[in-house]
Structure 1
């Protein structure tokens, strides 16, 4: 296919995606800010309603390029790393062959060829052949070398043939020569046309958080429901820092907020539907004054300007459980099942009492389970932290569906 122009759209990294638009797109402005910050994003190059390449920008100035053939099949993956010349080196180039559309859809390649290039031009080409259940199909006498029996060729080549310039943001013509490897021929001058995506209202906003704890009927995507606030006990803060985390991954998932010292009430918002009940949100209240404004709990290296429409930085959950605790609190891993996870099978919340040296911990089920959830800081008129809420997003905080 010969092309003179390319349509460009942006989104999160999505190498396995196939299509003309990203299911979770971002505006060009957000992608540009991510590029400047060294944060990952992806650009999709397409022409004549066909995907040609997905360009993924990785941290540490690395790139990954996925190439598509005329059938819109993703047939090739190229990893590019910074080279001493100031350019990018096509360090690893993997190609696949598929026997038919069904095998392609299931990801079962027939042949995989991987070319690896070192910084000084040493090249290694490995060809793997797979049959039913991954069995090698080539005759044993055809296998070249190596203990695995995978055919391998090694040779030296001028490294210049594997280099390309480092692109400035939007300079995607840099990658146009790679498209020829899948039979797409670029014109002498390739025109880039951005697919317009409205930046919208930006990152997720805290709207109607108070309603999450207002008892009574509400509507959800599962139909009518009832909100029931439940007292989960008093949380003891000794260090002046509240931590919100998955108790199975304290430190790795924790988000911390500077708060007063003392004992403060924890409230759960239970959402009861015809399918059962779940924890929709959890709150620690530090002051009786109602919040005047809400802000997302951020780590020092997080920038709201790098988030797309409706996105957020949140607390990660990998055990289906979240917890409030003092930032100094630790948990014995060999006691987690008996003290926390097993009790939470039959109840919504569990408290790990304070020890002689440590404050207590209050854990609770995390909405629908594993995932990432926004944490909101409610500030009073004079800027003090009035409360901290983790929203498990079982229903819209603004009362909508």
Structure 2
């Protein structure tokens, strides 16, 4: 009989990789995601043996995986919301392994579908994982009437990526990097014209959903931080400066629907890059996709050409594009503000010079999925 369950949490999209969380998160973060209607996963174990994994899906749906004695996922039960406080089991699927019926490991067997023994249950409030205990019996794990839940999730860490060492990205001189010694060389990339009062930071090939910052109309200098190693020269960071006043504080540049409280330790919301390129431009600037190869991507393919300007016509805003560090991924965008809240500058950090937090955080210095 199962009289207690150990409870831990993780990112939902990693739970398919096995019976453990490849990306564990603290219970407080999972609770915030639950309240925000976001996805996450709950692992229920007994004596260090995984018994079930519950995934919280969008729109109130849940998926429950049950594990066999070899800690393999043996059964998958899908639930849909029934009213406001119940879940209806709509599919009960046996998952086969590679040595059964010629199916791939973890694949669905159409012949393995059967009715859900417990047709419905209460939709769990966060932490109310008792609702899934009766389903453990399908794998031979009979729970007692009241199962004790033990929170064994990881502790709350330092939180999202912090803006440390941003100013130093543009200070010339030697640096130690994961690839060996290097030298930082600041470089002028031209003057950016803002006419609408909104700066946009985006991949020039995907300009429909940029990160924006309110700034006064005007022309502002763009500076690149070039990181020179024995093998190459890469853009380590890019900055557009609006005021001569040094920033009093730095903040992550967020979209209106983004909440740093919903991301894990060392993670961030950043500019997504799919063309190996990032651009500073006015938020109203339009980009002709058919001209990007000739006017942006091809010129930036030369080793000695880290940036390129697309001029505006007349008084229209221009665009300054630059190569994105090692290439595609997601990179943090920081807004430096004065004591009275004005935007002094905006910086894109391509994370070639890791901070202490990035060095100490599991996962290293790679781009965040956020």
Give the TM-score taking structure 1 as reference length.
0.82
1:273 positional shift: 2.3
Measure the CA separation in 2 of the matches of 1:91 and 1:343.
55
Q: Give the equivalent residue in structure 1 for 2:96.
A: 97
Q: Is the 8 A contact 2:24 2:153 kept in 1?
A: no
Where 1:342 maps in the other structure, the secondary structure is: helix
Q: Distance in 2 between the 1:29 and 1:75 partners?
A: 29
Q: Tell me the equivalent position of 1:108.
A: 104
Q: Structure 1 residue 300: deviation in Å? A: 1.5
Q: 2:364 — aligned with what?
A: none
What is the Cα deviation at residue 343 of structure 1? 2.0
Residue 343 of structure 1: aligned partner: 299
> After alignment, is 87-96 or 259-268 more displaced?
87-96
Contact kept in structure 1, 2:9 and 2:153, CA below 8 Å: no
Give the drift of 1:110.
9.1
Asked if the contact 1:237/1:262 (under 8 Å) is kept, the reply is yes
Displacement after TM superposition at 1:383 (Å): 1.9
Q: TM-score, normalised to structure 2's length? A: 0.88
Q: Find the counterpart in structure 2 of residue 117 from structure 1.
A: none
Secondary structure at 2:156 match in 1:
coil
Aligned to 2:7: 8
Larger Rg: 1
| Aligned equivalent of 2:188 | 231
Aligned to 1:123: none
Aligned mate of 2:329, from 371, 389, 399 = 371
**Aligned counterparts of 1:192 and 1:165: Cα–Cα separation in 2:** 17
1:245 Cα deviation (Å)? 0.9
Q: Which moved more, 1:49-58 or 1:232-241?
A: 49-58
Q: Deviations over 1:332-355 (max 9, x none)?
A: 122222222222221321211113
Name the structure 2 match of 1:287. Answer: 243
Unaligned runs of 5+ in 1: 114-125, 129-151
CA contact 1:209–1:397 (8 Å) conserved in 2: no
Structural RMSD (CA): 2.5
Query: Cα gap change, 1:172/1:207 in structure 2, threshold over 3 Å: closer, same or farther?
Result: same
Would you say 1:382 and 2:340 are equivalent positions?
Answer: yes
Change beyond 3 A, Cα 1:227–1:177: same
CA contact (8 A) 1:219 1:399 kept: no
2:322 & 2:106 partners in 1: Cα distance?
Answer: 48
Q: Would the aligned equivalents of 2:250 and 2:337 in 1 still touch at CA under 8 Å?
A: yes
| 1:361 is aligned to 2:319 | yes
- Where in structure 2 are there 5+ consecutive unaligned residues? 360-370
Please, which of 349, 354, 360 is the counterpart of residue 396 of structure 1? 354
Q: Indicate conservation of the 8 Å contact 1:15/1:66, yes or no.
A: no
The count of corresponding residues between Structure 1 and Structure 2 is 355
Q: How do 1:201-350 and structure 2 match up within 5 A? A: 201-252=158-209, 254-346=210-302, 347-350=305-308
How many angstroms apart in 1 are the aligned matches of 2:78 and 2:53?
12
Secondary structure of 1:382's match?
Answer: coil
Look up the SS of the partner of 1:251 in the other structure: strand
Cross-structure match for 1:60: 59
Paired position in structure 1 for 2:24 = 25
> Are positions 1:195 and 2:152 aligned together?
yes
